[in-house]
Structures are given as structure tokens and as C-alpha cells.
Amino acid sequence: MRRINVIDSAFLYLESRQTPMHVGGMSLFEFPEGAEPQEFMAGLDELYRSFEELKEPFGEHVATGMLGPLGPKYWKQDDNLDLGYHVRHSALPKPGRYRELFGLISRLHSTLLDRNRPLWEVNLIEGLQDRRFAVYAKYHHAAVDGIAALRMTESILSADPETRVDYSPLSREAHENFKQRRAGRRKRKAEVPLDDSAFKQVSDVLSEAFGLTGKSLEIAKAYAGTWLGMGGNLSVPWYRVPRSALNRQVGGARRFVAQTWKAERLETIRQAVGCTSNEVVLAMCSGALRRYLLNHGELPERSLRAMVPVSVRTSEDFDSSNAVSTITANLGTRHADPEQRMETIMNSTRAGKALLEGLSSVQASLYAGVVHSPMLLAGLLGVGDRFPAFSTIISNVPGPREKRYWNGAPLLGTYPASAVFHGFALNITLISYADQLDFGIIACRRSVPQVQRMIDYMEEALVELEAMVDA
């Protein structure tokens, strides 16, 4: 058995029927020209079902030690692996629109993964209009983060439509082949993965990670200054975070919606303003959230704060389950003027990045664990709605820069579906792909009603930003 580290174990302890802790998403494909749909889908189904040598931990289930459920957790080889259980084949009812597709994925994303089995499922979905099909996959957050999940999808994709692969994206073969391809492009010194040994003593952690006389003091002063009203543009968890409709207790049912925007529209704004692409994304989401809450009569006086994950995964790190830190972004939603919202976002994100500057990936991950452990505890105790550390989560994951194919089938888009939990009823994640940005929005069906309108509000917010730079 292999012990599951502290960071990954947190996602297992947080999980309940109301708060499934899996991530994943939907990839949308078009059947290759001349391919017979049923035959092609049967071939993909066979690829997933025929491989038993899977990448860790997808051939393992969660086990406990002598201390039982409250003690350390372990990955244990599953001797009764049933790939037929994990790989499902579904068909949409007619007319096979995106409405039916999103409804199916909403239901699939609402159910817990079976703890007695390896923590993943794949659904091959046919019946879409225009000779299209979808693949919905979900993996427990203890096993992968968003970037690791995307890399598994990328492992079976090619820039050449003539390329064919005969292995599953969850197979050891796919993992090793992908590592070799990426290793040939970039070479950087790998860092030692974070493990439980780093948590032996708090003093050791701080000393090793930050240096008690260096970065740790800088971070401590920055946080103390923020709470004393002298933090400048820095936003931190809990400080002046308003309670809103997004910070309610969540039920088990989810609603999933997705949309694609051309990257060039956001790039035009980025160049005109002199900001980053992610800051444009945050401004787009800020405008949409402001509209949503205004139309429901629930816009708080203070601006919403977003947790923005920042990947600290090195170019050679293909094996870590989770390698992520975070910053807090002030979304400026109290401002009606989009220029003011953009300025607020830019100031807060840059202050947050400055705080992480100079930390290694291990140190940044550790920093996130130390800073956000109270948030995890609040979630575990079910009081995250009463003491929200953030208003929502907005994550930007870089994907392939060129068009990709799976055994000749063009990838049209890939749309993430992340996790929500008590106090965080809405999650917005996007993946950049070729010349487009693919947004996936997941929300508690009860706490955030009519979330599908967020798509329209995001378009309106983008148009507003375009008008701002054209003025």
C-alpha cells in the first residue's frame, strides 16, 4: 500500500453525499469523415476496457490502516478491477442537442464515486446532432488535479489526424509515452514532491519552506497588514469577503453548462489594457456574476472575492496528484464601471502573485495548504457557508495550442467540470485550446438556480469590455 499524502487526503475527508470531491469534464469530438459512428464508438469502448496496466492510482482503491476511517489513508491495488464497471456507454435522447448533453452530464457529475473501487469513471456519449460524440470523465480530486486530468486526455491526442493509438488515456503506456514527448520539448530541474514528512513539525515546515527570517516574515507581515487595513491591494481569504447566494450550503445535485469563446476577442482586450489573459477572464466572470446577483436581488455591497488556483507543477512533474497554490482576486463587483472592475482585479492579482514570487513549487503548495487549512476544516465541519473564505472559484487551465485529434476524430472542445462544496456553490473553470477558450460552469442546482444564464451574462460582460477598449 502507498500512503496518501495530507493534501490529497483532505479531499477524501471533505467528501460527503452533498459534496462529491471529483473533477473531470467533457470532451466534444466529431466523427472522422467516412467513419461509421457505432463502429467507431465500439472501438473507443474497447480501448478503455482492454487495458489493465493502469497509471497509478487508477488501478487502486482507497484503504484505511489500523486507525480506521479517522487515520491515514492508503492507495491499495485493486485485485478485482472491473473495467466494465468504470467504462460506460450512453446515448442521448432525441433531438440530441447540447441541452440534453448538459442535462446528462449534470446528473453524472452529481453522483459519488464508489470508495470500494478505483476512483474514476468514463462515459462515452453518442446521439449528438451533426455527427458528434462526447466523452465525460470524472476522477477523484485525491487522485488528480485539473492539469493532471487534462494531461491524461492529451496523452491520446495528436496534431496529426492520421495518427492512431491503441491504448487508454488511463493506461501506463499512455502516461509514459506522454512523459517522453513532453520531456523532449522542455527540460527543467524537477523538484522533490511534497509528502507527509514535510508536516512533521510546524517549525520545520516554516523554516524549510520560507526561511524564518526571509519570505515567511514577508508573508506574515503582508497578511497582518491586510487584516489591519494596511494591506494595500492584497486580498486574502476571509478578509472582507461578503456572504452572497454563492456561499450557501450545497445539496448533492449539480447543474453543468458550457460555452466556447474565441481567444482573439480576449486577446484584443489584453493588449489594449496591458494586462494578462487571466485578468481578462476574471473581468469577464466578474461582470457576469454582478449581473447574475443583481437580477436575483442579491448583489452584496462589498465586492466578491475569487480563489484563483495557480499551478506550481514543474514541466517534468507528471506524477503528482495535486500541485497547486492559490491567490485571492478582488473581483470589484461593487463597481458598475467595467474599467474600475478591471483595475481592481489587476491590482489584487498582482499583489497576490508578488506574495508567491520566489517560492518553489513545493513551497507554494505548502503555503496554500497552511493558509487554506482553516477553509478545509470549515468545509469538513459543514460551516463553510457561515464563514466563507472566498465567494467563488475561477480557474484557468492551459490546454493544447494546436488542433488535436483522437484516432482521426477532431477535438472540438474540452469543458471542465470541477467541484463545489459548502460555502462555494459555484465553480468556473476554463481550458485554453487552439484558438478558443472552453468554459465549464458547475453549480449546486438548488443554491444557484438558473445558472445557465451565466453564459449569456458572460457574453454581455465580454461585449462590455470590448466597448471599453474601443471607446
Annotated catalytic residues are: 141
Amino acid at site 355: L
Please give the Cα distance from 173 to 279 (Å, whole number): 37
Q: Please, are residues 191 and 313 in contact by the beta-carbon 8 Å criterion?
A: no
Cell of 389: 473564505
Please give the Cα distance from 438 to 153 (Å, whole number): 15
Residue 152 is given by DSSP the state: H
For residue 262, what are the β-bridge partners?
A: 436
Burial class (CB in 10 A: 0-12, 13-18, 19+), 464: middle
- Whether the CA torsion 247, 248, 251, 253 is positive or negative: it is negative
Please give the Cα distance from 351 to 222 (Å, whole number): 10
- Whether the CA torsion 158, 163, 165, 168 is positive or negative: it is positive
Q: Which helix (DSSP H) or strand (DSSP E) does residue 245 occupy?
A: none
Render the burial of 265-282: b for 16+ CB within 10 Å, e for the rest: bbebbbeebebbbbbbbb
